[in-house]
Amino acid sequence: DAYDNCITVCNMENVDPLGIHTGESIVVAPSQTLSNKEYNMLRTTAINVIRHFGIVGECNIQYALNPNSEEYYIIEVNARLSRSSALASKATGYPLAYVAAKLALGIQLPDIHNSVTGKTTACFEPSLDYCVVKIPRWDLGKFHRVSTKIGSSMKSVGEVMAIGRKFEEAFQKALRMVDENNNGFDPFVKDPNDEELEKPTDKRMFVLAASIKAGYTIERLYELTKIDRWFLYKMKNIIDLYSVLETTHHMKLSHDVLLLAKQMGFSDKQIAAAVKSSELAVRIQRQESNIRPMVKQIDTVAAEWPASTNYLYLTYNGITHDVDFPGGYTMVIGSGVYRIGSSVEFDWCAVSSLRELRSLGRKTIMVNYNPETVSTDYDMSDRLYFEEISFEVVMDIY
């Protein structure tokens, strides 16, 4: 702010290595592979940079960090609300644009109320008790003669954001959000292919899944992809569970295995495909075993301070609900990821529905997972579920 108060709101990490545009990358918040020393080194530099430029308002800074040393480079500094800022705002629940506008008017950070929590000031650094994964959506199949390779120029047309309590959970949710025909981190979509691992394409994640299934070692995958080993091990956890499910008969699916699969972000449909059953049968068994998702709040303070927020997600890695369910809500289903032929105009329809329902005195629920939209702003609806739009999830919320 104008009085030299400065906080860092969000730290995010690209799964893909340097050389791939951040808009083409899978992004994880908070960063998972930094040591405490590395994190604080980069945080201190960010604060020094923003002070040096004399910026009042919001600014984001991107680094390239050598994984084998503490050498780093500043790639870019954006003193504006960019697409990364929008993602940071949705990922943390911290209203960046609102606060930046107040700062431009000369108001100081401690005097601004955090309108999401309703209780704390804007001078709090958000703490996350969950994991967020953003995946881009490409529509390259709609073009002839277009290279499917991804790199330093941005080709993606939209993005999705998934929230979970484990990386595996959020990652698989996000893969389904990008395309409802995906079952998750599915090893049967593509064949293993060293060239596609080394020179990434829009389908690299599925080649990676197939390669892990085919028995590639983590070291070999690291050499080919340069994706951090931490992420590769997490992906291997998903494929290992696939193998367990495939050797399990659907009549012998135990409570523990089913719960573990749900905690790893497997959908009912995905489990059904692996155990050769149907989505409905898995759903019924799951409900009989009392395996149900818990509704958790994004409160920006990791439940360490009181917060009354309506920004929600579902997880199987929880024990209790964070909110009560009084009923009497009207649910509006969002339009999902932006793609060619379906973009912001459909989000306008969703927002108009919400506003009309509100003017009729109805309480509203919004279900959407696109961080670039107005419908996922916390003040548009009475309850915002940042969740995938599928039969399973919408019925769980209902």
pTM: 0.92
Instruction: Show which of 227, 260, 289 is a domain's final residue.
Output: 289
**CA 134/CA 267 separation, integer angstroms:** 18
Nearest to 91 by CA among 47, 138, 37, 130: 130
Do 178 and 251 fall within a single domain?
A: yes
pLDDT at res. 267:
92
Query: How do strand 329-333 and strand 60-65 relate by DSSP bridges?
Result: unpaired
Do 163 and 285 fall within a single domain?
A: yes
pLDDT at res. 302:
65
29 pLDDT above the threshold of 80: yes
Instruction: Show which of 289, 320, 347 is a domain's final residue.
Output: 289
Do 102 and 178 fall within a single domain?
A: no
Chain-wide mean pLDDT for the chain?
90
Number of domains in the chain: 3
pLDDT at res. 16:
92
Nearest to 30 by CA among 47, 17, 43, 44: 43
Judge whether 7 and 123 are in contact, CB under 8 Å. Answer: yes
284 is a domain residue:
yes
Range of the domain at 93: 13-137
Reported as half-sphere exposure (CB side, CA atoms, 13 A), residue 29 has a value of: 23
The CATH number of the domain holding residue 333 is: 3.40.50.20
92 is a domain residue:
yes
Residue that has been written with the tokens 């991107």 in this structure: 62
Structure tokens at 274: 């692996």
Reported as half-sphere exposure (CB side, CA atoms, 13 A), residue 35 has a value of: 9
Judge whether 265 and 182 are in contact, CB under 8 Å. Answer: no
216 is a domain residue:
yes
**CA 205/CA 183 separation, integer angstroms:** 13
**CA 196/CA 267 separation, integer angstroms:** 27
Do 31 and 117 fall within a single domain?
A: yes
Q: pLDDT, tens digit, for every residue of 277-334?
A: 999 999 999 999 999 999 998 877 766 676 667 889 999 998 988 888 888 899 999 9
Do 316 and 273 fall within a single domain?
A: no
Judge whether 231 and 237 are in contact, CB under 8 Å. Answer: no
Instruction: Show which of 82, 108, 137 is a domain's final residue.
Output: 137
Mean pLDDT over residues 63-72, rounded? 92
Tell me the pLDDT band of 139, cut-offs 50, 70 and 90.
confident
pLDDT at res. 306:
67
The CATH number of the domain holding residue 195 is: 1.10.1030.10
A 10 A CB-CB count for 333 gives 15
Tell me the pLDDT band of 59, cut-offs 50, 70 and 90.
very high
The CATH number of the domain holding residue 66 is: 3.30.470.20
pLDDT at res. 397:
86
pLDDT at res. 303:
65
- What does the DSSP assignment read for 83-144? HHHHHHHHHH---HHHHHHHHHTT--GGGSB-TTTSSSBTTSPPB-SSEEEEEEE--GGGSS
Do 203 and 259 fall within a single domain?
A: yes
pLDDT at res. 340:
85
Mean pLDDT over residues 12-31, rounded? 91
1 is a domain residue:
no
28 is a domain residue:
yes
Measure Cα distances from 377 to 260, 323, 347 in Å.
32, 19, 12
Do 133 and 198 fall within a single domain?
A: no
Do 361 and 300 fall within a single domain?
A: yes
345 is a domain residue:
yes
**CA 124/CA 95 separation, integer angstroms:** 12
Most confident residue range from 19-23, 89-93, 239-243: 239-243
7 is a domain residue:
no
pLDDT at res. 323:
85
Judge whether 342 and 368 are in contact, CB under 8 Å. Answer: no
Do 120 and 27 fall within a single domain?
A: yes
Percent of the chain with pLDDT over 90: 59
Do 271 and 317 fall within a single domain?
A: no
Judge whether 235 and 208 are in contact, CB under 8 Å. Answer: yes
Percent of the chain with pLDDT over 70: 97
116 is a domain residue:
yes
Using CB atoms within 10 A of its CB, is residue 107 exposed (0-12), middle (13-18) or buried (19+)?
middle
Do 215 and 272 fall within a single domain?
A: yes
Do 230 and 301 fall within a single domain?
A: no
